[in-house]
Structure 1
Amino acid sequence: MAHKVACWHLRMLLFYFLVTACHLFAASHGATDAEILVNFKNSLSTNSLLHDWNVSGIPPCTGGSDNWVGLRCNDDGTIDKLLLENMGLNGTIDMDILMQLPKLRTLSFMNNSFEGPMPEVKKLASLRNLYLSNNSFSGKIDKDAFDGMSSLKEVYLAHNEFTGEIPRSLVLVRKLTKLSLEGNQFGGNLPDFPQENLGVFNAAGNNFKGQIPTSLADFSPGSFAGNQGLCGKPLPACKSSRKKTIIIIAVVVVAVVALSAIVVFACIRFGDGKNEAQSSDPFGDGKMGDRGQLHFVRHDRDRFDLQDLLRASAEVLGSGIFGSSYKAVLLDGPAMVVKRFRHMSSVGKEEFHEHMRKLGALSHPNLLPLVAYYYRKEDKLLVSDFIENGSLASRLHGKRSPGKPWIDWPTRLRIVKGVAKGLAYLYKEFPTLALPHGHLKSSNVLLDDTFDPLLTDYALVPVVNKDHSQRFMVAYKSPECSRSDRPNRKTDVWSLGILILEILTGKFPENYLTLGKGGDADLATWVSSVVREEWTGEVFDMDMMRTKNCEGEMLKLLKIGMCCCEWNLERRWDLKEAVAKIEELKERDNDDWSNSYASEGEVSSSRAVTDDDFPFSVNS
């Protein structure tokens, strides 16, 4: 009997031990994510914005709720996304710590101060989205850096200091849909990407060379800007190498003969010495949230603060000449676009605030209004509404999808009229500015749900660092700025003219691709050569030509565009004259000679344009 009692007590003790162990395990498991995150926080050199990462406080996730800054949680209380952006973070990204978060699928450290080599991201084999843009990562990326990452879809490495070739393991990621590499020092040939669903690709501002592979030929020319050695569609065709080959062979033969004749041993040393470091300019000291607040310039919008933006569900939209931009979907609120400007550090605080107040006071149906802004000396954020339809550039030059209709002539005419009205309003509101817009191009024209245009990135010249504006802004590609660095009130008219020609022809202005001022390839020069020597059907975009009985009005707009692009400033139209002529245009022709379509989509070739139509020059 005593033996049975002893056994019973032993079983109960064992049971108690197992239950206690299970409870302890459950309790420790509930704190594991918190401990992991705090360990990761402590591995960083700067982490002041992660002040609520504390194991003694509320847990990081409660069901699907996000309790700590920078986190997005799954419904089961596990961590899905780590979005530590715009926090001035630096130090080491310890992937061994993050490996302990088994359901982590999105990792973003955009707009921080991280340096050194590429993090060992392949340790997070289940990662789907990786965002490392706008840091100071440097050096070559190992060939196997992305091995085993079969779920990876989006990779953003823009505006760092990476060198070498694109790693083969990244090229072979089967599910890759977005790849952003611009603003680095990558080199070599662009590889052939086999992915059928690769919808976003940008390799601008690197050192790539050679023929653009067929798999990338349908992306816009802007995706390859700033790579002096690249050629082939969508850039100009590659030059024939036959002559170069003959010269090389001749040189080799002469060298061999000379060496055998004089029997001289030669040593040749090679060295490139061309490691120009592109510095990035992130937030720096990590006190963005402590030093300032969002300043709202619109009083008809619900208010939110900077932390709301940092906690918002974010999607990277791209990296432009000013910096990166992303879509932020506020909790129970609208989608906003946040643009980070990194080249406004030379303007004073009061001057910047005053100019932002002026921008906030603007109100016009063809301007995208500024909603709010954030000021720091090193960085500025401008917040505006997200426009679902995207930009005019994406409609003209992007990949055509089944749900994306072509833009017909009436729509393009409405876009031109709206752009002209918006530009005229800027001229009226900024009478003392030489460049009331300064950066008018198709990617800065957004289209609302009715395809009416909304101008963006306008009137920023007074607050952008002068050297940066002269190097990159569209207005400084004009003939007068190429010659003398002196824009005037007709310079934005030149930009309007180029935009009109782009809308009519469907061709991207290749002179925008050069990093400096001006460029050899000029859309206005090409149009001039075609209209004087060929038939009008060679000029107009075929998609636009599906509209019947409109060629006469198209030619009128073509003439307006060319008059706006006149190189001679005295002969170039002023904005008032251009807007008046644009307003006179109609969707259908009244001229008898223009009603010449046999069927929808057929282009007229019955009338060539003569010097009487365009009595001016487009270059000097």
Structure 2
Amino acid sequence: MTLILLCLFPLCFQLFFNFALSLSSDGLALLSLKFAVDQSEDGFFSDWNGGDSNPCGWSGISCGNISGIPEPRVVGIALAGKSLRGYIPSELGTLRYLRRLNLHDNEFYGVVPMQLFKATALHSIFLHRNNLSGPFPPSACTVPRLQNLDISDNFFSGNIPNDIKKCKQLQRLLLARNKFSGEIPSGVWSELDNLVQLDLSANDFKGSIPDDIGNLVSLSGTLNLSFNHLSDQIPNSLGKLPATVSFDLRNNNLIGEIPQTGTFSNQGPTAFLGNKDLCGFPLRKSCTGSNRDSGSSSSSHKDEQSNRSKGLNPGLIIVISVADAVGVALIGLVIVYVYWKKKDNDNVGSCNRKRRFGDEDEDEDEKGNGCSLLPCISGLNLKNEEDNENGEVEIDKGGKGEGELVTIDKGLKIELDELLRASTYVLGKSELGIVYKVVLGNGGPVVVRRLGEGGEERYKEFVAEVQAIGKVKHPNIVRLRAYYWAHDEKLLISDFISNGNLAHALRGRNGQPSSNLSWSTRLRIAKGIARGLSYLHECSPRKYVHGDIKPSNILLDNDLQPYISDFGLNRLISITGNNPSTGGFMGGALPYMKSSYKENRTNNNNYKAPEAHVPGCRPTQKWDVYSLGVVMLELLTGKSPESSPMSLSLSSSVSVVEGYELVRWVRNGFDQQSPLSEMVDPSLLQEVRAKKEVLAVFHVALACTEGDPEVRPRMKIVFENLEKIGR
């Protein structure tokens, strides 16, 4: 027996020696990970073969060529979401050129070995959503290039060490939903000049918020300190954070008045909920008890007035009574005068319209009864462009009706008969009606939109809405110039924008990619849209919400300047009794779409915020912020929401949220540290100098598309941040 063992030993040693020689050192280190994971017969590691010369063909492994080294080396491990259960072996620290370690969404347990951080090329470590425990990895900041550390959703505990300040290159530190405790260290955050994202939420931190967190000059997105046990007052220094930063300080024990300086002015009330001793704007809780004081003072004031009234002498009472009677009489006279004046004007207007619309020299067949706009428009004898060589539409001017053409803009000189005689082109049709391009006698085109025949009982409401929309004047918003109201016809007349819409500029008129838009043009378009929406939100008389921002509603002129169209149209359509669900085409959006009603319904939700799909939810300005964020992502990537790579792999069962897949795809790309070349529109790759600008716009767009509307920035802040880019 001994003789047999002595004979087999050299053979076994030779086999092991040959096996070791056949696989590279990187491969041997990776095999330690395979053996550290509990495997089933059909496990993920079936192609991790020790007989290979290198591991570059193994599942989840990526390799790269290193200068001066003849063979490729392992640079990435991507085993996320594979339901792997095991521990992280220390041998991974021998992977000298490892840059990305993605083991998130698995069931790894135990501590993170200190030896892992001997892989000094690491710049991204994603271990979130596992069962890891132990203290904060003490050697993490010995890695000189570490940019992303996400260990959220685990069972880590203990304090955050002061050594965190040694992570000079750190951009994202995500420690949420663990069991960290103690105080958040102070005096370390000023050292982290590159930190973009900080999430310490849902732990057991106590004490005050460190003042020097306000020195995180690169921070963007959300500063999340929610669901801890933080106490004391909110430091004023947080107001020094960039304007793009949103706070989430919910569910702590913070006290005192919310500061009103700097970035605090951009926060909504949701950021401070769950702190019962916080007060001040934007919460509805006074810090001085002024409500109670004002109530008592108001009561005493009423008592004083009551006492004074008791002391009035009879003569003064008579004078006051006579004055009241005279005032009532004057008001009655004014009402009677206005009524008769209006009646006289209506009679004169009717005669004027008859003289304007039908001259005595014309025969009876041509002029009708002198008020023939309604039958002329509603009874159009339409011809397609192929029916007439010059594309004109012939108008049948017979019939009866009454109505009035009202110009909102004094700069537009147009009469009803001129509108009827002008060359008219059918630009598009839908279930909501027809849109025309009308070329006036002076050569200037306008767009005429028919709203339908209903809503006559809401005339005053319609006029008030149209007049308000007509007051919105901004270089990036399509102008409403005039309107026509009659019993069975309502028209809107607005500017014609001559160069199509952004959807066609990005994808071509046949849905094919277009490379006509340079980066500088795309940035200018994004700034123009944000500028127009900021005006609607902040400066317009009613602080409007658009509610339907998408590329087909962004028109472009010959200089590729953007114009927001369809503003206010849904409201007008609802007044006239039509269904606004497909959006509108005021200002010329439909002319450049030529799409069917079914297509419009299909694409309508791709840019809307998640909360916009909740039945009965009223539009908010944060809807527009989200939609603009999706439009910016499309400008950056060249991909429409329904065609992003992630959505192509989804089943039809999630078609309701197709519009969110572009956002998810981009976020996933940043989480995985994908190269910029994999996300940006290929036609922009040659513009090397614009890389920093592209990244900056990506960050603004991702802030706009946060799922929580309270976390999204105001449109004013979005515009200001875009304006800084490229200067």
TM-score tier, shorter chain, comes to 0.3 to 0.5
TM score, norm. by length of structure 1: 0.46
Rg comparison, structure with higher value:
2
TM score, norm. by length of structure 2: 0.40
Q: More helix by proportion, 1 or 2?
A: 2
